[in-house]
Amino acid sequence: MDPMSPAYDTGPLLAIAAAAVALLLLLIIKLKLHAFLALVLVSLVTALVAKVPLGDVPDVLLSGFGTTLASVALLVGFGAMLGRMLEVSGGAQTLADTLISRFGERRAPFALGVASLLFGFPIFFDAGLVVFLPIILSVARRFGGSLLLYALPAAGAFAAMHAIVPPHPGPVTAAELLGANVGVVLLVGIPVAVLSWYVGVLPFAKWAGHRIEIPVPATFGGSAATEERAGEKDGADAPAATAPSFGVVLAMLLLPLALITLNTVVTTLQTTGSVDEDASWANLLTLIGQTPVALLITVLVSIWTLGTRGRSLADVEHLLNDALAPICAIILITGAGGMFGGVLRFTGIGTALADSLDALGLPLIFAAFVIATGLRVAQGSATVSLTTTAGLLAPAVAATDGLSEMDLVALVIAIAAGATVLSHVNDSGFWLVSRFFGMDEKTTLKTWTVMETTLGLTAFVISVVLWYVF
């Protein structure tokens, strides 16, 4: 929908935006209202206060919600299914075992981190950490030393992939709201996430692991827990009879990247005139390289290569159905974030924000990081921070001339960086790490919070380089 003529001047519009964000944080933090309900309610209140005609309010809300879900739901759903296939087939264990055997004992933390980076491509942070927890603990028991040596590289890898790389909901939603190409965000985001992990996580994990002794929590078991998991045989969750090889698992993770890269190459050749834009074969390759189609193909291949090992197709259907249940809330929250952004655009609040940033001389890339950081610290959720910041900045981005595709990708990464730093007690990930790794709150702040901050700051520096250099 085209924006309406603003009902207020810039000052009152910015005050409405500030009040909307404050109300959102109050509902989520103080009143413990679910983020989905809070975002929808604040979107409605903001539209009414900004004097959107009553007859237009439903269309404005549904337009932002539906546009966001049109792509986000597909990517997140396919990613969850692929992650489930890798998990139940034993692919995660294969990744860890192979990399540790090849890198050796001294580089076991590095190997666990690399395995987590690979497995973190399709699976969410909390699910990935839960799946890898028995592996982390068994490796820590086997080689000795502080648990942090092995746990932080893996947890940091999952955090980096979750915040920066599609098909995770935060970066996908931010890319959609800002008008960035999700495929390009994926192709650029992967090396950015890996580099951010290598610079911002691995050195700190090594430093903390040699200075803070954290024993393996007995309550989560070690080899015994791993054996218990391996011995589970009931239902569709039973492990496959034969785990896939490392090559098969790696191929599953590289397949969507190859298809998306193919799309980018062919599209570039068509744009430059090297390939006829009407060539059927070229259009077919660009189709299968579209991110949703590439992930769909990968999920179908994973069913054949991973899911049916020791299972019937009925069992696989049950597993895929279970994979979708935990992501429903995430999909709804990202859609509601798109709704909030749609209201800001329609009312002219976003344009007012863009004009104010321009007057302050604060570049968009820095504004993206600062706003995302403020929201992250205030309400904890990285996904809410990503979606809300992108919604706030989307009109400013649309009103800024001359932004390249790489500029838009840099903005997505800067927002992701701000949404990563300073994880503390209002972040569910903080408590997940604290309890799984047997740390008290003070130790978690000294380790996990600091590591998340160095990870986010590293990603932000990279985004600034992308913004100004490329």
Secondary structure (DSSP) of 273-334: TSS-TT-HHHHHHHHHTSHHHHHHHHHHHHIIIIITTT--HHHHHHHHHHHHGGGHHHHHHH
Q: Domain extents for the chain?
A: 1-255+294-470
| 370 has a pLDDT exceeding 80 | yes
| pTM of full prediction above 0.75 | no
Instruction: Return the closest-CA partner of residue 405 out of 239, 146, 183.
Output: 183
User: Before 215, cis peptide (omega within 30)?
Assistant: no
Average pLDDT over every residue of 155-173: 90
The beta strands (E) that lie in 380-454 are given as none
Average pLDDT over every residue of 190-218: 92
| 261 has a pLDDT exceeding 60 | yes
What's the burial of 338, exposed, middle or buried (CB within 10 Å: 0-12/13-18/19+)?
buried
pLDDT-above-90 percentage for the chain: 28
CB atoms within 10 A of CB 258: 13
Instruction: Return the closest-CA partner of residue 237 out of 326, 319, 307.
Output: 319
- Which pLDDT value is given to residue 230? 37
| 234 has a pLDDT exceeding 70 | no
Question: What angle (nearest 5°) sits at the alpha carbon of residue 358, between those of residues 20 and 4?
Answer: 50
Matching residue, tokens 């190859």: 258
- Which pLDDT value is given to residue 80? 78
Contact between 167 and 79 under an 8 Å Cβ cutoff? The reply is yes
Token output for 402: 């001359």
100-158 tens-digit pLDDT: 788 777 888 998 899 889 878 877 787 677 767 767 877 887 788 899 999 999 999 99
CB atoms within 10 A of CB 211: 11
Q: Provide the residue count of the chain.
A: 470
- Which pLDDT value is given to residue 359? 67
Average pLDDT over every residue of 410-435: 87
- Which pLDDT value is given to residue 442? 87
Instruction: Return the closest-CA partner of residue 182 out of 196, 170, 193.
Output: 170
